[in-house]
Structure 1
Amino acid sequence: MCGIAGLFIGCPALAACPKKALAALAAATTAPDDGTVPEDVPEYRSPFATWFERSSVRQAPRRVLEDGEDKHAFSPDLVPLARHALVRALPGDVFGEVLTQHLYRYLDFTTKLEHLVVNRTVLGIAHRTVGVELPEEMVFDAYKIYCDEAYHAVFSADLLRQVRARTGIAPKLVAEPYFTTRLRQIQDSLAPELRPLAELLFVVCSETLISATLAEVPEDPRVHAAVRDTIRDHAQDEGRHHAYFASFLKYLWAQLDPAVRRELGPLLPDLVLAFLHPDLPAVREELLGYGLSRDDAEQVLAEVYDEHTVREYARDTARLTLRHFASVGVLDDPAARDRFEELGLLEGALLR
């Protein structure tokens, strides 16, 4: 209830307040003094013209697990562990738990990403505290994204609770997902005034990456209808968010000082991988919990998440994001381009 009761500003959550965290961004940007947006940025065309009629928070019903529906919690083809022979050799009920735990991770990941990172940034855009001059319509659209992302967290938490109650399977979730740990490490390597910018660019990455989960699970008839419909609702909203943040990147990058661009450009591939890299310690603990020996668990990790597979997945998922970076000139900087190539994200990514 920050600020509601008599506009009280002694907020006990001040240390984590998005306004405080994002205010330093202004020091790292060179926004025009007259409040106008850069002339060389294309005119903003809102992807939210039908938001009041079509967003999931406005029109989608609550997704409820159907009684007696004997289906998978997740698409087996999209759960890497489920394809390994040592996992498939486990007792039959364990295979179902593997899929259920993957669904739990997906839902928990979504909840934490939307609440802890994306909506911090969107709140700053809506309240003009990120130091980037934007068209009024773009600022207003940030309010809509904030509602979308909050609802994505709600329906993810709701579905997790339903699945837990139905199956009796307790979620095996880490307190802090890999992406938050890695993002903090990247930020700690930067000067304090640049850390909010790293979070802002991480949000651009996360909102423009294209995941197979959002595209393929809704079309898999083997999966519970409530899971398919929940992910379909999410995908329809995220299409608009992708378009928004692709535009936002143009405004942001155009207003950064060239020296800041040179410092941040080489960090972008690391931000992409912070989102896409598998959480290996969490998966290792899950495998051990199924009764695999430590040696077998390490074998599964090495064979399922080998370097080639991880890089190929990241490259394919980040293809459109890299095109957006290229469109604003990020890859014109040799240091940035070298880092993208070093991490395996650039090879062929802009040619397909």
Structure 2
Amino acid sequence: MCGTAGMFVGCAALTQCPKQLLLHRVAAADAPEPPSPPGDYRSPFRNWHERAAVRQSPRRTLREDESGRHYFPPDLVPITQHPLVKELPAAVHEELLVQHLYRYLDFTARLESLVVNRTVLSIAQGSVGVQLPDEMRFDAYKIYCDEAYHTLFSIDLARQVEQRTRIAPRLPRQPFFLDRLHRLLDELPPADGALAEILFVVVSETLISASLAEIPDSSEVVAAVSGTVRDHAGDEGRHHAYFAMFLRQMWGQLSPAERRAAARLVPRLITTFLHPDLPAIREELIRYGLGEDDAHRVVAETYTPEILSQHLAAMSRQTVRYFESLGAFDDARALEELHVHGIRK
């Protein structure tokens, strides 16, 4: 296993890459369904040169005339609504929102550069283990450019915010989702790990457009933040459409056993992406002056099992539908995994 997400592609060891091995396993599978013919692919990137953020959006910079605006929408940071947190000084509230922005930008940069683009590059180079129309492989290079730009503008904005606010980012060694993804991949045999990583990219790219839609283009938020999110969301809408089609192509090339394994992994991959890092939230609250018991209370009362389940269900609804349309949850164990992870169809 190499690379942050477990599979580095484009290296001298390509012939040993689990993704390449997956291709041979698929070819040897018992009568897998053939991939959709090239004519079935309708590219979501027909106007990419005119519409992609990297091609037409300006650099988003902080303005001087935005006093009173937040660096992140308070409504999207649920702990800010708890009575114990509301009692904290106003300066703490603003720092809490700034730190949330840093985490959001760091999450974006790490996801795009360390996970998504590794798989996207292997799609473009034909080493992902899925046979695709040539135009679909070419479009993967456009996604690669998009994701690299999303990484750049996330880091750029974080640097601007730190310079303006003088609030240093307090970030984990790596985002919570990466820790969980690594643990999951470590538990799986290499070939299943390859499939899991590809599935994680499909899941994240079809989930992320829903999460971006939550962040409003509001006069209460500094314009550079809302503009950056708007740029990101425009690109991710195209990525969402692409990976929904990629999933169909891949599914038709998996053996029945691989489909069952994939279906049972999907609920865990969804929670890997969406579940909040509750221990980190508690630690942050303690740093802001809450006692340990109060910090536990805020987290327990803000992120109840019911609220977490509702959030997972709402955010993952379309992704679950894609897999359901392929018959993934006809498997009883896969359906049970959905329920175990609190995801309702």
TM-score, normalising length: structure 1: 0.90
Q: 2:24 and 2:38 mapped to 1: Cα distance?
A: 21
Output one character per residue of 1:195-225: Cα deviation in whole Å (capped at 9) or x when no partner: 1110100000000015555224342210000
1:320 aligns with 2:311: no
Looking at structure 1, the residues matched to 150 and 252 of structure 2 have their Cα atoms a distance apart, in angstroms, of 31
Per the TM alignment, residue 251 of structure 1 is displaced from its structure 2 partner at its CA by: 0.7
- Counterpart contact for 1:210–1:320, Cα < 8 Å: no
Aligned AA for 2:47?
A: T
Q: Among residues 135, 156, 159, which one is paired with 1:161 in the alignment?
A: 159
Structure 2 counterpart of 1:6: none
Q: In structure 2, what is the equivalent of residue 18 of structure 1?
A: 9
Letter in 1 for 2:61: V
**Structure-2 separation of matches of 1:26 and 1:261:** 14
Output the CA distance in 1 between the equivalents of 2:280 and 2:25: 35
Which AA in structure 1 matches 2:153?
Answer: F
Find the aligned partners of 1:103 and 1:251 in 2 and give their Cα distance: 36
- The Cα shift of 1:157 comes to 0.3
Unaligned runs of 5+ in 2: none
In structure 2, the residue matched to 1:63 is: 60
Query: In 2, Cα distance between the equivalents of 1:225 and 1:279?
Result: 27
User: Structure 1 residue 51 and structure 2 residue 48: aligned?
Assistant: yes
Quote the residue 2:172 is aligned against: 174
- 5 Å-filtered alignment, 1:1-352, equals 17-19=8-10, 20=14, 21=17, 22-30=19-27, 38-39=35-36, 43-70=40-67, 71-209=69-207, 213-346=211-344, 349=345
Q: Which moved more, 1:163-172 or 1:39-48?
A: 39-48
Instruction: State how far apart, in whole Å, the 1-side matches of 2:207 and 2:8 are.
Output: 27
Percent identity between matched residues is 53
Q: CA deviation at 1:38?
A: 2.0
Q: What's the CA shift string for 1:94-121, capped at 9, x where partnerless?
A: 0111111111110000000001100010
Which amino acid is 2:231 matched to? D
- After alignment, is 284-293 or 236-245 more displaced? 284-293
Question: Counterparts of 2:257 and 2:209 in 1: how far apart (Å)?
Answer: 32
Instruction: Give the Cα separation in 1 of the matches to 2:272 and 2:107.
Output: 13
Letter in structure 2 aligned against 1:161: R
Structure 1 residue 240: deviation in Å?
0.1
Alignment gaps of 5+ in structure 1: 1-11
Over 3 Å counting, the alpha-carbon distance change for 1:169 and 1:212 in structure 2 is: farther
Root-mean-square deviation (CA, aligned residues, Å) is 2.2
- Greater CA drift, 37-46 or 108-117: 37-46
Cα drift, residue 41 of structure 1 = 9.2
Offset at residue 275 of structure 1 (A): 0.1
- How many equivalent pairs are there? 333
Partner of 1:7: none
User: Given the superposition, is the C-alpha separation of residues 320 and 305 from structure 1 closer, same or farther in structure 2, using an over 3 Å criterion?
Assistant: same
Q: Distance in 1 between matches of 2:313 and 2:81?
A: 21
